[in-house]
Amino acid sequence: MAETAVQEPKLKTQEPLFGTKERKLLIDPLNENNPITVQVLGICSALAVTSLVYPSVVMAIAVIFVLAFSNLFTSLLRKSIPKQVRMIVQLVIIASLVTVVELTLKAVNFEVYKQLSVFIGLIITNCIIMGRLEAFAMANRPWRSFLDGIGNGLGYGAILIVVALFRELFGKGSLFAGSSLEMKIIGPSTEYWLNSTNGWLSWYQNNNLMVLSGAAMFIIGIIIWIHRSWNPKLVDVS
């Protein structure tokens, strides 16, 4: 191979593929820059799915996928997108990816698809995605945008799954209901794990409030409270 022999001398020093900056992109959204508790984005489409853990995990994976790849594609196209129509271009990229996710889920797991109903489609208007495209992918190189997408998706998914764990455990007494991992933890009958030995928890009643939409609000309010008292930089001063 003659061509490989005449390599151009590299003027710029090669940046590491996974250095401190890249790690920061992945870790930051989990804490100091969390999309839900700090940036207040993307609450819209997802809270309704948090009454069970399993659909929340599916939703989190779907959002990570859409966010990472829409960031990647927008970043690849960022120099050729005209300023005036960039919103439309971004919406089309997001909508196509969401359609891919929707059809895949429909084929792979129809039960969860029915449970999530319109909320998979609503990933399009999830403000995190538009927000990250505008704020990050339009100004950064593809690999970093991809990592930023994964990081923000993880930050979003973490909150989603924490809320769902509380709501399902106290509202239904089970965890991962509907999947093959289904666990029955706490409840009045003996098929629940905590009550199985001698039925000492037979008086227990599940808290129906946790199944209602209001409970998701309370739990997120409390998560924000804890997060901000732990990290006082984030306190709202206005």
Please give the residue ranges that form the binding site for another protein (CB under 8 A): 37, 40-48, 87-88, 91-92, 95-96, 98-99, 102-103, 117-118, 121-122, 124-127, 130, 209, 212-218, 220-222, 224-229, 232, 235-236, 238
Spatial distance between the Cα atoms of 164 and 184, rounded to a whole number of angstroms: 15
Q: For residue 131, give every residue at least 6 positions away whose Cβ sits within 8 Å of its Cβ, in sequence order, or none.
A: 35, 39, 41, 42
Q: Which is nearer to another protein, 189 or 213 (CB)?
A: 213
Q: Which is nearer to another protein, 27 or 223 (CB)?
A: 223
Q: CB 57 → another protein: shortest distance, Å?
A: 18
Written as six digits, the tokens of 171 are 């509202």
How many residues comprise the chain? 238
Q: CB 86 → another protein: shortest distance, Å?
A: 12
Q: CB 47 → another protein: shortest distance, Å?
A: 4
Q: Which is nearer to another protein, 184 or 227 (CB)?
A: 227
Q: CB 127 → another protein: shortest distance, Å?
A: 4
Q: CB 67 → another protein: shortest distance, Å?
A: 15
User: Beta-carbon neighbour count of residue 138 at 10 Å?
Assistant: 19
Q: CB 117 → another protein: shortest distance, Å?
A: 6
